[in-house]
Amino acid sequence: MTRFRNPVLPGCHPDPSICRVGGDFYLVTSTFEWFPGLPVFHSRDLVHWRQLGHALDRPGQLPLDGVPASGGLYAPTLRHHALPGQEGLFYLICTLVDGPEWSGHFVMTASDPAGPWSDAHRLDGEGIDPSLFFDDDGRAWCTGTRLTGRYEGHTEIWLREFDPSALALTGDEHVIWDGAVKGAIWSEGSHLYKVGGRYLLLTAEGGTAREHAVMAARADAVTGPYEGNPRNPVLTHRDLGAGHPIVGTGHADLVETPDGEWWMVLLGMRPHHGDRCVLGRETFLAPVTWEDGWPVTGGRVEPRPGFPSLPPHPWPAVPSCDQFDGPEPAMAWNMLRTPRERWWSLDERPGHLRLRVRPESLADVANPSFLGRRQQHPDFAAFTSLDFVPADEEWAGLALVQNNDFHVVLVSTSQGLRLVKREQGIETVLAKAPASPGPVRLGFEAHGRWYQASYSAGPGGAVEPGGWTRLGDPVDGDLLSSQVAGGFTGAYIGLYATSNGRASGNHADFAWFEYRPL
């Protein structure tokens, strides 16, 4: 049997939602405070995915200014539907949490999942985790989750009709679910389907940590009443112990292949040290069968499941080294919050990424000069070549980022190289090295919990042998985990420049950036 490797989207890709159009599958995940946001992926075999773009890629679509760490864009749902006499549209519904001007649900549309996507159309309705369901009778429905206040963590799932022409919720509200077990907490992440003539409600429950689970309920009418699956949970790893390689499984969505196979995408985590999960919540894939009208998963997510009954369709590999030779940063790159000025350039010095040195820093809840990509492997190496002449208080180099209070930087300064960690909002210089004129190569190499910084004077490639010097002892990466730092995101690594609160007209040039698993 041909097998594939879980997760199918490694690194911080939580809350996956999936839909199919013909033989093509499309998927979107949460991105919180990161911009561009809501990445859209495409697959033809459910295993190999390529990124098409981002639904949120224009500053004017929706504001993320000032959004706190792990605020922003929560739990999108992606669906495709054709109105009578019209071409099909993709609908993406999501929640903006702790927004600067407004918070709440919104919907975006696109005729092509690669974009462009519309601006955000605000919706009423309380809480988080909205989802859309298009019934076969021509009606459409929206579900969402809200806290009730009855006890800590108690939530309920509400249902309202959705008008896809007006992009608005209409009609009466129906409360259809509040948990599969007595004392349930965080019944959320709901999705509706119609299977065998009955309505299936899939929810997450237990909170998005080790108690996470997938629950199912069904009804003869979309408004209920819903009966829970007597075998709930449909899937959980809460009973597999702390040493299991995959934990926190939940927040699932279902899809049917053209041949009638069913599969589930869901989030899970891979701890690297005890319960520490630096990579964040990742997207996994699990097979689904049906018994007595209920989905059956076998109760767990396997690291190496059997391949779907679809022809394998890998995409061309993304180069491990970005030479910065395109007109815009590659789709893997993100920044924190909405940019209101263009502080990066790929054409001012061709073949280089130029970052403007600005007062904003990673310690600020702002949009600093930082371009990062997800850490996707427990063991990896990342390198860059930096050309930078710093003034006092100016830094540029590599950064490992969990949030504004927990990160590690390896930077060139006017006083030489510095390895600095920020933990619980307190900065500590871990190691120093003297300055040398001209370009310098900087690197991090991670082996599970430990991150070793290194440097090499002069230009050149990352893989060229010799000349690399370790800077300081390995850094304990636990501070990059959500279990230590809090929040819902995984670690990023990327390129950074700041003047630490001072005005500056300087810039930092990066000749390339390489990321490769070890």
Give CA–CA dist 332/354, Å, rounded. Answer: 17
260's CB contacts (< 8 A; 6+ apart) are none
Unique residue bearing structure tokens 């237990």: 206
Tokens, residue 47: 């295993």
DSSP result, 148-215: -SSSTT-EEEEEEEEETTTTEEEEEEEEEES-SSTT----EEEEEEEETTEEEEEEEES-SSTT-EEE
Catalytic residue (choose from 57, 161, 188, 445)? 188
382 to each of 369, 374, 463, 482, 497, how far by Cα in Å? 19, 11, 10, 21, 17
Q: How many CB atoms lie within 10 A of CB 305?
A: 20
Query: Which is it for strands 50-56 and 72-82: parallel, antiparallel or unpaired?
Result: unpaired
Phi first, then psi: give them for residue 496, nearest 5 degrees. Answer: -145, 145
d(CA 420, CA 418): 6
Give which of 480, 388, 490, 392 is closest to 442, Cα–Cα: 388
Structural contact between residues 266 and 286, judged by C-beta atoms closer than 8 angstroms: yes
8 A C-beta contact, residue 129 and residue 109: no
Strands across the sheet with 168-177, in order? 128-134, 140-147, 155-163, 168-177
Q: What is the largest CA-CA distance in the chain?
A: 74
Strands 379-387 and 469-476: unpaired
Residues 221, 159 contacting (CB under 8 angstroms): no
The answer to whether 445 is a known catalytic residue is no
* Residues 6+ positions from 499 with CB-CB distance below 8 Å: 357, 358, 359, 391, 393, 394, 395, 506
Helix, strand, or coil (residue 284): strand
Location of structure tokens 């690197």: 443
Is 15 a catalytic site residue? yes
Strand 492-498 with 369-374, pairing? antiparallel
∠ at Cα 320 (317, 321), nearest 5°? Answer: 130
Catalytic residue, chosen from 15, 129, 405, 423, is: 15
Query: d(Cα 201, Cα 144) in Å, to the nearest integer?
Result: 12
Q: Which tokens in the block code for residue 371? A: 């371009």
Task: Report the alpha-carbon angle 262-263-264, nearest 5.
Answer: 135
Strand, helix or coil at 120?
A: coil
Which residues have a catalytic role annotated?
15, 188
